[in-house]
Amino acid sequence: MNPLHLGVLLVSLLPGVDRLSGKSFATRSPLIAQQGVAATSHPLATQIALDILKRGGSAIDAAIAANAALGLMEPTGNGIGGDLYAIVWSARDQKLYGLNASGKSPRGLTMEEFKKRKLTSIPLYGPLPVSVPGCVDGWFELHEKFGKLPMKEVLAPAIGYARDGFPVTQLISYYWGRGVRALQDQPNFASVFAPAPKEGEIFRNPQLANTLERIGQSGKDIYYRGDIARAIDSFCREVGCYLRYEDLAAHSSKWVEPVSTNYRGYDVWELPPNGQGIAALQMLNLLEPHDLSSLGHNSASTLHLLIEAKKIAFEDRAKFYADTEFNKIPVDVLISKAYADQRRKHLDVNRAKRRIPAGNPRLEQGDTIYLTVADKDRNMISLIQSNYAGFGSGLVPTGLGFVLQDRGALFNLKEGEFNSYEPGKRPFHTIIPAFVTRDGKPFMSFGVMGGAMQPQGHVQVVSNIIDHGMNVQEAGDAARFRHTGSSQPTGETMTDGGLVSLESGIPLEVSRALIKMGHKLGMAVGGYGGYQAILYDRENDAYRAASESRKDGMAAGY
């Protein structure tokens, strides 16, 4: 077997028991530290975050520094051509803040253009799925409110690695190769990202170093209203992309109120649409009356309930989740206990449903990075950032060293729907940060990257900790299910119950029981998400952090 593939195949080879307890599986002990901690999907990015903390930076400074480094080191999932969302716990204010730093569709691209091309969906690659990149504006919004170090200093580690180079890790190398095979013919892509570096090879991106240096020196205006914006505009005109200087200049992030539901005494927080975070809250509401602890972790009965709850929530996700500036979305109703009581009639505890209607509330595979950082002042940030599918659109603006995202592929080309394409509109988004509080105090900052897997992963992690008593590392390493085939905001409708994939840490007898309940099972290698988390141990005034085994990442602290 090619050793590069081992990291991908590991997810299907996890043993069922932990090396110490004989119970839940964990690859390592949780990281425990008092002053500051960081958990990211790349060890070098984690160390950058710690360095920033030790220099007096806030958790938010450290998160931005790590994100900038990940855009270089893990371009298969994120970069400054993509969007960003974050939830911040402010120790000073004793409250959560939410940031939606996603961009809108080009104002010059209309539905008529898609009709003229006879398209029923927006292509994943090329000029048509590109939307305004929100990441850089998101950094500066976070920094202005919560930062302590100058942005030039925050971006310096990523700039240094971009110039001097870094060794590419195993799993990233594997996905890099896949990306190059798909995108090598897109404008400028091969000149920056091909050939795909093998595991351990040194990669440099001097173009990105120059771009980040200019942003650090001049601020976000150079990206949205200055020379970088003009370079993006000029490139897009050359390659038939509709993104323009005016779209970039009009962009702004949105500070939003996180929303929550209470699950067995814990408040689980997500951001409201255009993202999919509230699907996790809807699932938890549907599950709460069931005693998952007594049913057992990853038993057939427990997995069946989780899968059916996912199907129900995703019908509402397909119908209602979209840009709130274009639609009146009944978020409060969707995440209410009363609405869950109505929807629970579709949850048969014994049998899998093939088709489920969306509710009537009154008034799939993406690549992402997730990271979380906490500092000595007890500020915490849950941050997620993405190009959407792998490298994104494949379009690399000349001389800038990054790829423009393809998030616009998640619009629906059927008119009259909540998520129908319109100019200047934010598309439906899959990337979602999460946070948990208890009694109004921080309990855990966490996320599970990976397209439509994210709400499913959030619920599995929350249940692992609250229902099954796992520690923060076990909760992420434990074997997962992934359900695909639900109805989608892009217009597809579930008619056959979808497909359930199980990691091999789940016993074969459970698979057989699920088949008897009417579930269709498939085999998926990978696609089960990637988890990072920081749990605040209030009793000992210390942090416990985790980074799971499905990624190249690391949790560390001091």
* Closest to 70 measured CA to CA, from 183, 146, 155: 155
360: confidence class by pLDDT, cuts 50, 70, 90: low
Q: Which runs of consecutive H residues, i.e. helices, occur in 336-452? A: 337-343
Q: Is 371 helix (H, G, I), strand (E, B) or coil?
A: strand
| Sign of the dihedral through C-alpha 180, 185, 186, 192 | positive
Instruction: Quote the pTM value.
Output: 0.94
pLDDT the model gives residue 527: 87
Q: In the beta sheet, which residues pair with residue 97?
A: 88
pLDDT higher than 90, residue 410: yes
368: confidence class by pLDDT, cuts 50, 70, 90: confident
pLDDT higher than 80, residue 5: no
Report how far residue 171's alpha carbon sits from residue 168's, in angstroms, rounded to the nearest whole number.
Answer: 9
* pLDDT tens digits, 492-544: 999 999 999 999 889 999 999 999 999 999 878 788 999 999 999 999 999 99
Report how far residue 41's alpha carbon sits from residue 476's, in angstroms, rounded to the nearest whole number.
Answer: 13
Name residues whose C-beta falls within 8 Å of residue 412's C-beta, 6 or more positions apart in sequence.
Answer: 419, 420, 421, 489, 490, 491
Among 211-215, 241-245, 322-326, the least confident range: 322-326
Contact (Cβ atoms closer than 8 angstroms) between residue 532 and residue 371: yes
Tokens coding 226: 């200055």
1: confidence class by pLDDT, cuts 50, 70, 90: very low
DSSP state of 395: -
Contact (Cβ atoms closer than 8 angstroms) between residue 216 and residue 128: no
pLDDT higher than 60, residue 8: no
Domain count, the chain: 1
| AA letter at 63 | A
Specify the pairing of strand 95-101 against strand 254-256: antiparallel
* pLDDT tens digits, 75-114: 999 999 999 999 999 999 999 999 999 999 999 999 999 9
The answer to whether residue 208 is domain-embedded is yes
The answer to whether residue 64 is domain-embedded is no
* Closest to 384 measured CA to CA, from 526, 496, 533: 533
320: confidence class by pLDDT, cuts 50, 70, 90: very high
Report how far residue 361's alpha carbon sits from residue 350's, in angstroms, rounded to the nearest whole number.
Answer: 26
Report how far residue 387's alpha carbon sits from residue 393's, in angstroms, rounded to the nearest whole number.
Answer: 8
The answer to whether residue 51 is domain-embedded is no
What angle, rounded to 10 degrees, do the helices at 300-320 and 508-516 form? Answer: 60
The answer to whether residue 78 is domain-embedded is no
| AA letter at 440 | G
DSSP state of 10: G
Report how far residue 389's alpha carbon sits from residue 366's, in angstroms, rounded to the nearest whole number.
Answer: 5
Proportion of the chain above pLDDT 70, given as a percent: 94
Average pLDDT of 384-392?
94
Q: What is the CATH number of the domain that holds 9?
A: 3.60.20.40
Report how far residue 125's alpha carbon sits from residue 7's, in angstroms, rounded to the nearest whole number.
Answer: 26
Catalytic positions, please? 368
Report how far residue 81's alpha carbon sits from residue 407's, in angstroms, rounded to the nearest whole number.
Answer: 10
The answer to whether residue 493 is domain-embedded is yes
Number of helical (H) and strand (E) elements in the chain, helices listed first: 20, 19
Report how far residue 160's alpha carbon sits from residue 73's, in angstroms, rounded to the nearest whole number.
Answer: 12
First and final C-alpha spacing in the chain: 38
Taken as a whole, the chain contains a residue count of: 558
Contact (Cβ atoms closer than 8 angstroms) between residue 234 and residue 180: no
17: confidence class by pLDDT, cuts 50, 70, 90: very low
25: confidence class by pLDDT, cuts 50, 70, 90: confident
Report how far residue 543's alpha carbon sits from residue 537's, in angstroms, rounded to the nearest whole number.
Answer: 6
pLDDT the model gives residue 4: 35
Average pLDDT of 171-177?
95
Rounded (10°) CA dihedral 517, 519, 524, 527: -100
Specify the pairing of strand 499-502 against strand 521-522: parallel
| Tokens 């190769």, residue located | 177
Report how far residue 480's alpha carbon sits from residue 502's, in angstroms, rounded to the nearest whole number.
Answer: 6
Average pLDDT of 177-204?
97
For 190, phi and psi rounded to 5 degrees?
A: -65, -35
The answer to whether residue 273 is domain-embedded is yes
| Tokens 């920081």, residue located | 534
pLDDT higher than 80, residue 13: no
Q: Side by side, which strands form the sheet with 521-522?
A: 481-484, 499-502, 521-522
Report how far residue 385's alpha carbon sits from residue 370's, in angstroms, rounded to the nearest whole number.
Answer: 7
DSSP state of 5: G
The answer to whether residue 47 is domain-embedded is no
Find the domain containing 542 and state its range.
1-35+83-558
366: confidence class by pLDDT, cuts 50, 70, 90: low
The answer to whether residue 544 is domain-embedded is yes
- Write down the mean pLDDT value for the chain: 93
DSSP state of 289: T
